[in-house]
């Protein structure tokens, strides 16, 4: 006899290859009269049972060690370990088991009923309403327990219709049904794995994706058969020959499961036909590492400084033996703050394939380490030969350790797990004033932002968090704290100087800098908090914002860029003008953010011909050529954004297959400007100004930078002081098309 076993995770798919024929004599011999009962007894658990005619299967109570409880079960009775293939789930106990002395009785009106020695009911076979009385029970040589109707002799209830963790030959799963693994070998509660045939006919191998099994079940799939429309699956069949397939709706087409399960998926079961062939190794719990043993079975191991949540469950979750880092607010009312200091512990040849929330390319190991240590969400990073840094949240899903000598690039990686190094007391100091901005300690900004908990947005230079600082008089003011992630660590003096220069710049259309911090590896800049979000959020919504507001915002942005280019002591080229970097204040006036950061990021360069800055769709052509970078790159970006302001459409809209600069010029050339604004009635009534703004935008995006106006000319044209001539084709003779500019490089 051979069978499919998944005892490692308690999901069994049992294959009995010998022919099991059911004859009329066997049915008579295997029947159980109404009124018969069995009692749970450790001394009589195998002798006190109802057996199938051939004796292959038995029905009765089984003692589950090391618990002091029993489960009503069907098991293979002729093999030494007497493998359980079905069990009744007791509903009034924590383990799903019942005490010794419990009884199962075959009743005419309720079928099988389990009661404990005090008479409390723990389980009942659910009969269809109005189905009539039970005449007898029957345990068949296929391992199916049947309850037969007294009137018609038809089945009122079948154990095959209520599978638990096992499929037997000739058994099938209908749409909406599933198998669930046991929680542990000695606990018959539902575990984390499920095999489910959905309402759409798709068979899925699922794993529970919740922090504890007490939570609402949330599953994600390791494997999907893809048996959906137009010919969906209707039934999962495990036939007598051991072949498993999904029967499709035409009742003729079959989708074979065994040969179609990819070997690379983490399928949580084992196929056994004498020697065991592993399909996957996800038997382990959260924060645990799965290792394939010499016997090709998965073994689970907690990382150093972690231990099993339940010491009796070697396949369960691992918990940290220390206080995990959190992103909650700190108590800053005392003179000293207890600060947990974390370090990264290396675990070789190990990967956590799920739970990524951030990925960084072309990072060295030190930069990858710092990215995790400075991020309160990060529980671990995975780093490999491809120089990709994967940040993982807590809890870690499950780890997979490659065998020794495995040099597969996908698995020749290691994990750095964040663990507690120690606790130090840090004095809470107030920030010190400077004429050009405040200097903060890193700890003060941790307190101000609640450990960087409230994220406002992300950009090319870093992540922005909301915080609160106390000013003179004790009042709190809101601030935005940007954590920079690409500033060279060794340039501390240059960083201070440049930030102080930015701190001296004041204009009503620029976001005001409040201060900065440059302790250790951290580089942070503190800005005033701007309440109404980004221009992108404002512009690309429906219904469109008013035409008057859009015109006012376009002029305000132009004035802010003009100030950076011409009115500052030292010219500042922004290099990343886009709607996401334009904020709207309480009166919806535009405020340019991130100005000066491009210079900080390029301060090591001797010239400005390399290292493309900016965002795809807004990048000037000279970035891709051996051409000097001047303030005209900001003019180009502004032109793209001006067209977005007119049309309320994104520069690159993949959903609508629109490249805005091409479309805008085509509409201008063909005198179809109304297509750009569609049903915007307010703009339609001001077509003269719409045309003016479109022409200005096209002048700004000229491929030849010398043809672009400067920001002073642009401001005058927007305000009507200067006439606007018809612009030429912005890309008349480019080697690269305008479309190609939008797709060049990782900008």
With respect to residue 129, please indicate whether it lies within any of the assigned structural domains: yes
With respect to residue 462, please indicate whether it lies within any of the assigned structural domains: no
DSSP-based three-state secondary structure for 372? helix
The helix or strand, by DSSP H or E, that contains position 420, with its residue range, turns out to be strand 413-427
Please, which residues have CB within 8 angstroms of residue 597's CB and are 6 or more apart in sequence? 461, 484, 525, 576
Q: Let me know whether 4 and 30 are in one domain.
A: no
- Tell me which residue has tokens 């974390």: 342
pLDDT (0 to 100) of residue 1: 38
The helix or strand, by DSSP H or E, that contains position 204, with its residue range, turns out to be strand 203-208
Could you tell me the CA-to-CA distances from 525 to 269, 480, 503, 512 in Å, in that order?
51, 8, 10, 11
With respect to residue 719, please indicate whether it lies within any of the assigned structural domains: yes
Q: Let me know whether 28 and 138 are in one domain.
A: yes
Q: Is the preceding peptide bond at 66 cis, omega within 30 degrees of 0?
A: yes
Q: Is the separation of the CB atoms in 396 and 303 below 8 Å? A: no
Q: Residue 252 is encoded by which pair of tokens?
A: 């003729």
Q: Rounded distance, CA 714 to CA 709, Å?
A: 6
Q: Let me know whether 225 and 105 are in one domain.
A: no
Rounded mean pLDDT, 704-709: 93
Q: Let me know whether 689 and 580 are in one domain.
A: yes
Is the pLDDT at 334 greater than 70, yes or no? no
Full DSSP string of 63-84: EETTTTEEEEEEEESSSTT--E
Q: Let me know whether 147 and 205 are in one domain.
A: no
If one compares 205 and 571, the residue with the highest pLDDT of the two is 571
Q: Is the separation of the CB atoms in 470 and 476 below 8 Å? A: yes
If one compares 474 and 664, the residue with the highest pLDDT of the two is 664
Which of the 8 DSSP states describes residue 211? S
157-171, 205-219, 283-297, 590-604 — which is least confidently predicted? 205-219
pLDDT (0 to 100) of residue 280: 34
User: What does the pLDDT look like over 604-624, one tens digit per residue?
Assistant: 433 344 455 667 788 888 888
114-118, 125-129, 444-448, 673-677 — which is least confidently predicted? 125-129
Q: How confident is the model at residue 602 (pLDDT cuts 50, 70, 90)?
A: low
- Long-range contacts of residues 237-245, Cβ cutoff 8 Å, at least 24 apart: 237/172, 238/13, 238/15, 238/167, 238/168, 238/169, 238/170, 238/171, 238/172, 239/169, 239/170, 240/19, 240/20, 240/169, 240/170, 241/17, 241/169, 242/2, 242/15, 242/16, 242/17, 242/169, 244/13, 244/167
Is position 165 annotated as part of the catalytic site?
no
Q: Let me know whether 3 and 38 are in one domain.
A: no
pLDDT (0 to 100) of residue 112: 95
Q: How confident is the model at residue 4 (pLDDT cuts 50, 70, 90)?
A: very low
Which of the 8 DSSP states describes residue 580? G
pLDDT (0 to 100) of residue 411: 43
- Examine the fold and report which residue of 115, 135, 164 is the final residue of a domain before the chain moves on: 164
Rounded mean pLDDT, 103-117: 93
Rounded mean pLDDT, 306-319: 85
Is the pLDDT at 329 greater than 60, yes or no? no
Give this prediction's pTM: 0.44
Is the pLDDT at 184 greater than 60, yes or no? yes
Q: How confident is the model at residue 634 (pLDDT cuts 50, 70, 90)?
A: very high
Q: Let me know whether 579 and 714 are in one domain.
A: yes
Q: Is the preceding peptide bond at 282 cis, omega within 30 degrees of 0?
A: no
Of the residues 375, 576, 594, 634, only one is catalytic, namely 576
3-state secondary structure 217-262: CCEEEEEECCCCCCCCEEEEEECCCCCEEEEECCCCCEEECHHHCC
pLDDT (0 to 100) of residue 362: 80
Q: Rounded distance, CA 39 to CA 72, Å?
A: 10
- Is there a binding annotation on residue 483? yes
User: What does the pLDDT look like over 249-299, one tens digit per residue?
Assistant: 887 777 776 544 433 222 233 222 222 232 333 467 888 888 877 776 778
Q: Rounded distance, CA 276 to CA 272, Å?
A: 5
pLDDT (0 to 100) of residue 283: 63
Rounded mean pLDDT, 75-91: 86
Q: Rounded distance, CA 262 to CA 260, Å?
A: 6
Q: Where are the alpha helices (DSSP H) in 602-657?
A: 632-647
Rounded mean pLDDT, 687-716: 95
Q: Let me know whether 567 and 692 are in one domain.
A: yes
Is the pLDDT at 322 greater than 60, yes or no? yes
110-124, 132-146, 512-526, 589-603 — which is least confidently predicted? 589-603
Q: Is the separation of the CB atoms in 104 and 128 below 8 Å? A: no
90-104, 201-215, 475-489 — which is least confidently predicted? 201-215
With respect to residue 322, please indicate whether it lies within any of the assigned structural domains: no
With respect to residue 369, please indicate whether it lies within any of the assigned structural domains: no
Rounded mean pLDDT, 220-230: 71
Rounded mean pLDDT, 620-644: 90
Q: Is the separation of the CB atoms in 568 and 562 below 8 Å? A: no
pLDDT (0 to 100) of residue 642: 97
Instruction: Please name which of 531, 508, 303 lies closest in space to residue 396, comparing C-alpha atoms.
Output: 303
Q: How confident is the model at residue 492 (pLDDT cuts 50, 70, 90)?
A: low
- As a whole number of Å, the end-to-end CA separation of the chain is 62
Q: Let me know whether 723 and 640 are in one domain.
A: yes
The sign of the CA dihedral 520, 526, 531, 534 is: negative
Q: How confident is the model at residue 153 (pLDDT cuts 50, 70, 90)?
A: confident
Is the pLDDT at 247 greater than 90, yes or no? no
Pairing of the two strands 31-33 and 134-139: antiparallel
Is the pLDDT at 637 greater than 90, yes or no? yes
Could you tell me the CA-to-CA distances from 36 to 48, 49, 137, 358, 659 in Å, in that order?
12, 11, 10, 62, 78
Is the pLDDT at 21 greater than 50, yes or no? no
Q: How confident is the model at residue 695 (pLDDT cuts 50, 70, 90)?
A: very high
Residue 63 has phi, psi (to 5 degrees) of -80, 130
Q: Let me know whether 225 and 268 are in one domain.
A: yes
Q: Rounded distance, CA 465 to CA 483, Å?
A: 8
Is the pLDDT at 395 greater than 60, yes or no? yes
Q: Residue 85 is encoded by which pair of tokens?
A: 């293939």
Q: How confident is the model at residue 581 (pLDDT cuts 50, 70, 90)?
A: very high
Rounded mean pLDDT, 693-716: 95
Q: Is the separation of the CB atoms in 193 and 166 below 8 Å? A: no
CATH number at residue 718: 1.10.510.10
532-536, 595-599, 674-678 — which is least confidently predicted? 595-599
User: What does the pLDDT look like over 28-56, one tens digit per residue?
Assistant: 567 899 999 999 988 877 778 999 999 99
Report percent pLDDT > 90 for the chain.
Answer: 30
pLDDT (0 to 100) of residue 514: 85
37-41, 175-179, 527-531, 601-605 — which is least confidently predicted? 601-605
- Examine the fold and report which residue of 148, 164, 180 is the final residue of a domain before the chain moves on: 164
Q: Is the separation of the CB atoms in 457 and 481 below 8 Å? A: no
3-state secondary structure 687-728: HHHHHHHHHHHHHHCCCCHHHCCCHHHHHHHHCCCCCCCCCC
If one compares 89 and 530, the residue with the highest pLDDT of the two is 530
Q: How confident is the model at residue 432 (pLDDT cuts 50, 70, 90)?
A: very low
With respect to residue 561, please indicate whether it lies within any of the assigned structural domains: yes
If one compares 402 and 514, the residue with the highest pLDDT of the two is 514
- Long-range contacts of residues 471-478, Cβ cutoff 8 Å, at least 24 apart: 477/528, 477/529, 478/529, 478/531
Rounded mean pLDDT, 191-220: 62
Q: How confident is the model at residue 424 (pLDDT cuts 50, 70, 90)?
A: low
With respect to residue 708, please indicate whether it lies within any of the assigned structural domains: yes
Q: Is the separation of the CB atoms in 124 and 114 below 8 Å? A: yes
CATH number at residue 84: 2.90.10.10
Q: Let me know whether 738 and 715 are in one domain.
A: yes
Q: Rounded distance, CA 237 to CA 694, Å?
A: 64
Q: Is the separation of the CB atoms in 57 and 51 below 8 Å? A: yes
Q: Tally the domains of the chain.
A: 3
Is the pLDDT at 436 greater than 80, yes or no? no
pLDDT (0 to 100) of residue 258: 55
pLDDT (0 to 100) of residue 216: 46
Question: With 0-12 CB in 10 A as exposed, 13-18 as middle and 19+ as buried, what is 401?
Answer: buried
Q: Let me know whether 181 and 113 are in one domain.
A: no
User: What does the pLDDT look like over 551-570, one tens digit per residue?
Assistant: 999 999 999 999 999 888 77
With respect to residue 554, please indicate whether it lies within any of the assigned structural domains: yes
Domain span including residue 124: 24-164
Average pLDDT, the chain: 77
pLDDT (0 to 100) of residue 711: 95
- Examine the fold and report which residue of 247, 262, 280 is the final residue of a domain before the chain moves on: 280
Full DSSP string of 434-492: -TT-EE--HHHHHHHTTTTTSEEEE-SSEEEEEEEEE-TTS-EEEEEEEEESSS-TT-H
Q: Is the preceding peptide bond at 395 cis, omega within 30 degrees of 0?
A: yes
pLDDT (0 to 100) of residue 568: 80
């Amino acid at each position: 006899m051979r069978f499919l076993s998944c005892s490692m995770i308690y999901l069994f798919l049992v294959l009995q290859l010998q022919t099991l024929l059911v004859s009329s004599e066997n049915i008579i011999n295997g029947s159980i009269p109404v009124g018969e009962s069995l009692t749970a007894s450790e001394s009589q658990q195998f002798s006190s049972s109802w057996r199938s005619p051939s004796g292959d299967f038995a029905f009765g109570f089984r003692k589950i060690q090391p618990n002091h409880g029993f489960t009503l079960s069907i098991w293979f009775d002729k093999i030494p370990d007497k493998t359980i293939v079905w069990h009744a789930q007791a509903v009034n106990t924590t383990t799903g088991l019942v005490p010794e002395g419990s009884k199962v009785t075959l009743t005419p009106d309720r079928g099988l009923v389990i009661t404990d020695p005090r008479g409390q009911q723990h389980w009942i076979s659910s009969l269809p309403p109005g189905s009539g009385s039970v005449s007898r029970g029957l345990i068949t040589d296929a391992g199916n327990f049947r309850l037969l109707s007294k009137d018609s002799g038809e089945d009122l209830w079948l154990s095959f219709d209520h599978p638990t963790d096992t499929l037997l030959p000739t058994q099938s799963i209908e749409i909406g049904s599933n198998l669930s693994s046991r929680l542990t070998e000695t606990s018959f509660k539902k575990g984390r794995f499920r095999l489910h045939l959905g309402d759409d006919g798709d068979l899925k191998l699922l794993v529970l994706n919740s922090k504890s099994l007490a939570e609402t079940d949330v599953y994600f799939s390791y494997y999907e058969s893809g048996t959906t429309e137009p010919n969906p699956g209707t039934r999962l069949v495990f036939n007598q020959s051991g072949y498993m397939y999904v029967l499709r709706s035409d009742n003729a087409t079959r989708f074979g499961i065994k040969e179609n399960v990819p070997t690379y998926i983490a399928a949580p079961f084992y196929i056994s036909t004498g020697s065991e062939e592993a399909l996957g190794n996800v038997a382990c719990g959260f924060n645990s590492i799965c290792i394939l043993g010499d016997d090709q079975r998965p073994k689970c191991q907690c990382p150093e400084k972690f231990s099993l949540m339940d010491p009796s469950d070697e396949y369960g979750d691992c918990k940290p033996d220390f206080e995990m880092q959190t992103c909650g607010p700190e108590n800053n009312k005392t003179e000293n703050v207890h600060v947990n200091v974390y370090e990264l512990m290396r675990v070789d040849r190990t990967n956590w394939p799920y739970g990524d929330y951030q990925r960084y390319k072309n990072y060295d190991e030190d930069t990858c380490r710092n990215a995790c240590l400075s991020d309160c969400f990060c529980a671990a990073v995975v780093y490999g030969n491809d120089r990709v840094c994967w940040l993982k949240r807590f809890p870690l899903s499950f780890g997979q350790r490659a065998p020794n000598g495995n040099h597969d690039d996908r698995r020749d990686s290691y994990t750095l797990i964040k663990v507690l190094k120690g606790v130090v007391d840090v004095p809470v100091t107030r920030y010190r004033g400077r004429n050009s901005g405040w200097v903060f300690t890193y700890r003060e900004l941790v307190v101000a932002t609640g450990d960087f908990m409230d994220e406002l947005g992300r950009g090319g230079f870093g992540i922005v968090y909301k915080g609160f600082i106390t000013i003179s008089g004790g009042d709190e003011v809101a601030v935005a704290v940007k954590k920079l992630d690409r500033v060279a660590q060794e340039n501390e003096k240059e960083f201070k100087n440049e930030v102080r220069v930015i701190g001296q710049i004041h204009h009503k259309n620029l976001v005001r800098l409040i201060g900065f911090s440059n302790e250790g590896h951290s580089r942070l800049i503190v800005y005033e908090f701007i309440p109404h979000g980004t221009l992108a959020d404002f512009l690309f919504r429906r219904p469109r914002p008013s035409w008057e507001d859009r015109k006012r915002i376009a002029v305000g942005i132009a004035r802010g860029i003009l100030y950076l280019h011409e009115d500052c002591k030292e010219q500042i080229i922004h290099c990343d003008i886009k709607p996401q970097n334009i904020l709207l204040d309480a009166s919806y006036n535009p405020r340019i953010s991130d100005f000066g950061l491009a210079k900080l990021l390029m301060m090591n360069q001797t010239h400005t011909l390399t290292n493309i800055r900016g965002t795809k769709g807004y990048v000037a052509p000279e970035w891709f050529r051996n051409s000097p970078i001047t303030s005209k790159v900001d003019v180009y970006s502004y032109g793209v954004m001006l067209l977005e302001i007119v049309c309320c459409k994104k520069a690159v809209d993949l959903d609508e297959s629109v490249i805005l600069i091409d479309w805008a010029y085509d509409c201008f050339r063909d005198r179809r400007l109304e297509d750009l604004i569609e049903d915007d009635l307010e703009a339609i009534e001001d077509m003269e100004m719409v045309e003016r703004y479109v022409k200005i935008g096209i002048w700004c995006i000229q491929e030849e930078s010398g043809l672009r106006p400067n920001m002073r000319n642009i401001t005058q044209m927007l305000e009507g002081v200067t006439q606007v001539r018809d612009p030429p084709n912005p890309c008349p003779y480019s080697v690269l098309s305008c479309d190609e500019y939008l797709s060049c490089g990782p900008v």
